[in-house]
Structure 1
Amino acid sequence: MSATTVKTGTTGKTTEVVDVERVDLTVHGDGRERRAYWAVVDCWSVVRRGFLNYQRQPLAIVWQLGFPILSVLLYAYVFGGAMKSPGGDYRDYLMPGMFVMTMAFGFMGTAMTVVVDAQKGVIDRFRSMPMSPSAVVSGRGVTDLFVAAAELTILAVTALLIGWRSDGGFFNTLGAFGLLMLLRFALIWVGVWLGLMLPNQEAAGGLYAVVFPLTMVSSIFVPPSSMPDWLGAVAAWNPISSTAGATRELFGNPVASDGSWIQENAILMATVWPLVITAIFLPLAVRRFQRLSR
């Protein structure tokens, strides 16, 4: 890094002008290593911006973190008495499904945030800056993962307070939460891609009409075997159902499998589905961001 001292103004004060282009040379390594370094630094800058937005708009994060609690109380106590559990207390069957539903609903918040940033010109500002092209997309993803971890923590504490327990052991329980985060990670890229595709906030709000049936036609609340045969098959092959079944198995909660291949291999498919979703939508999100305003 080099600097040049020049006189400015009438007072004769000096100003140090830094050669920004040469600052990059302080990062040792070849071009790829420098690009990787700045990609991480710029990504973290975007993450910090996301946290500052939550700090300045606390109601947004309060609602996002409070929604899981309201959902648990609603489904466990308002509807729970009318539900039939495959075994034991219905709350033992419900809670893994509620974990999955919270992770699934999260991508709507991602899409809404991206749409708002696009409408306000924030994304165009980022694109005009000398920053890594991947930082905006990856920064949004990392921010949402932090929020997802907070949501899961609050939801788990709420579940423990209402009497739910994991009987699968420490490592199985850790694996179940890992699968939940993997699902959220995959859906983040769906949210980013949709946010870059949708024209305005009203269109982003309409995503609820898509997500609500997607979560209902699954094993979140009831076993697919309790549905008509054709609908039960759709519910069983829903990626959300695979994660719900896998987490129930790992938590040691009632599973209610009907013996079909997709339900008997829930843990495998709870890993495969998110990887497939990520492989499709992560490149689509990056490409869409790179093609903006072209």
Structure 2
Amino acid sequence: MSTLAYDGTAMLGRQLRRMRNNPGLLIITQTMPVSMLLFFGYVFGSALALPGAEYRSFLVPGLLVATAAGGVMTGMFQSAQDVHRGVTDRFRTLPVSRAAVPVGQAAADVLVTAAGTVPFLLVGLAVGWRVEGSALEAVGAVALLLLFRFACVWIGMFLGLLTRNEEAAGQLGGATFLLPLLSSAYIPTAGMPDGLRTVAEWNPISAVATALRELFGNAPVPEGAAWPVAHPVAGSLAWCAVLLAVFVPLAVRQYGHGRR
């Protein structure tokens, strides 16, 4: 465990330096959620039954979770890039823990996500979003958001190590944009057709988005929803536990594939 902690901290530093040397990616990842908040909040919000300010309060937690789900894309691209450029093979020759590289990458991603959440929430406050719940519930909402991001990054790392090609990972990662559309991130599921509503409510994004809305005090839990949305905090924790239990061993095993 001490070896993993030491090696993982070194890989965390490496990943943070890598992000610092790629400012374009940081700028895009920081400004895109804000742009989507302004676009969805003021353009789409006028076409929905919810009043503008009320919709923006509904939207802010959904966009936070949609951004967290983007960890699948970033984890996939960075892992595939390392494999494609031979970096992963060089790491495999070093006497470091097999899990250190993916752990460091996931931890760095969560730290950057946490920092990027601050300006987004400030913009949210500027457009009318407010924390209606307690301070403890708000802290729990942010912690749940980061846990979900952590789980999504592990999914992405496994897929990136599997594809082994940054171009293919970029194309596949773009498809993850559809995941929030099939959820309650942007619109309530109550008005969806029955079959689509069921799919949306079993989407982990819906459970986490509903949990954040409940903890922030922005919207009540919808009635008659599927179990993960009807019990959003428990459903979110269950989803994160399942995703981590499945994809952490898969990613570590895939990273160590070929190691002698």
Superposed pair shares fold, TM > 0.5:
yes
State the superposition RMSD in angstroms: 1.8
**Compared CA separation, residues 288 and 56, structure 1 to 2 (3 A):** same
- Paired letter, 2:240: P
- Kindly indicate whether the alpha-carbon contact (under 8 Å) linking 2:106 and 2:150 is maintained by their aligned counterparts in 1: yes
Query: Bigger CA drift: 157-166 or 260-269?
Result: 260-269
User: How far apart are the structure 1 equivalents of 2:168 and 2:215?
Assistant: 37
Report the alpha carbon displacement of residue 209 of structure 1 after superposing the two structures with TM: 4.8
Q: Which runs of 4+ in 1 moved over 6 A?
A: none
- The C-alpha deviation readout for 1:13-61, integer Å capped at 9, x for no partner, is xxxxxxxxxxxxxxxxxxxxxxx22221111111111121222222221
- Kindly indicate whether the alpha-carbon contact (under 8 Å) linking 1:85 and 1:93 is maintained by their aligned counterparts in 2: no
Report the alpha carbon displacement of residue 137 of structure 1 after superposing the two structures with TM: 1.3
Report the alpha carbon displacement of residue 154 of structure 1 after superposing the two structures with TM: 2.2
Structure 1 position 57 matched with structure 2 position 48: no
Structure 1 position 190 matched with structure 2 position 155: yes
Structure 1 regions of 5+ residues with no counterpart? 1-35
More helix by share: 2
More strand by share: 1
Partner in structure 2 of residue 219 of structure 1: 184
Report the alpha carbon displacement of residue 184 of structure 1 after superposing the two structures with TM: 0.7
Partner in structure 2 of residue 279 of structure 1: 245
Give me the TM-score of the superposition, normalised by structure 2.
0.94
User: How far apart are the structure 2 equivalents of 1:87 and 1:178?
Assistant: 28
User: How far apart are the structure 2 equivalents of 1:209 and 1:145?
Assistant: 20
Match of 1:250, SS?
A: helix
Partner in structure 2 of residue 244 of structure 1: 209
**Compared CA separation, residues 88 and 264, structure 1 to 2 (3 A):** farther
- Kindly indicate whether the alpha-carbon contact (under 8 Å) linking 1:137 and 1:192 is maintained by their aligned counterparts in 2: yes
Partner in structure 2 of residue 24 of structure 1: none
User: How far apart are the structure 1 equivalents of 2:35 and 2:219?
Assistant: 23
User: How far apart are the structure 2 equivalents of 1:152 and 1:139?
Assistant: 20
- Kindly indicate whether the alpha-carbon contact (under 8 Å) linking 1:86 and 1:255 is maintained by their aligned counterparts in 2: no
Partner in structure 2 of residue 40 of structure 1: 5
User: How far apart are the structure 1 equivalents of 2:187 and 2:31?
Assistant: 24
- Kindly indicate whether the alpha-carbon contact (under 8 Å) linking 1:219 and 1:241 is maintained by their aligned counterparts in 2: yes
Residue correspondences, number: 259
Match of 2:190, SS?
A: helix
1:151 to 110, 116, 119: 116
For the pair shown, the structure with the greater C-alpha radius of gyration is: 1
Partner in structure 1 of residue 138 of structure 2: 173
Partner in structure 2 of residue 125 of structure 1: 90
Partner in structure 2 of residue 75 of structure 1: 40
- The C-alpha deviation readout for 1:247-284, integer Å capped at 9, x for no partner, is 11111112360323523211110110011000000000
- Paired letter, 2:98: P
Which runs of structure 2 are paired with 1:195-210 in the superposition (5 Å)?
195-210=160-175
- Paired letter, 2:255: F
Q: Work out which structure has the larger RCO, using CA pairs closer than 8 Å and 6 or more positions apart in sequence.
A: 2
User: How far apart are the structure 2 equivalents of 1:261 and 1:216?
Assistant: 18
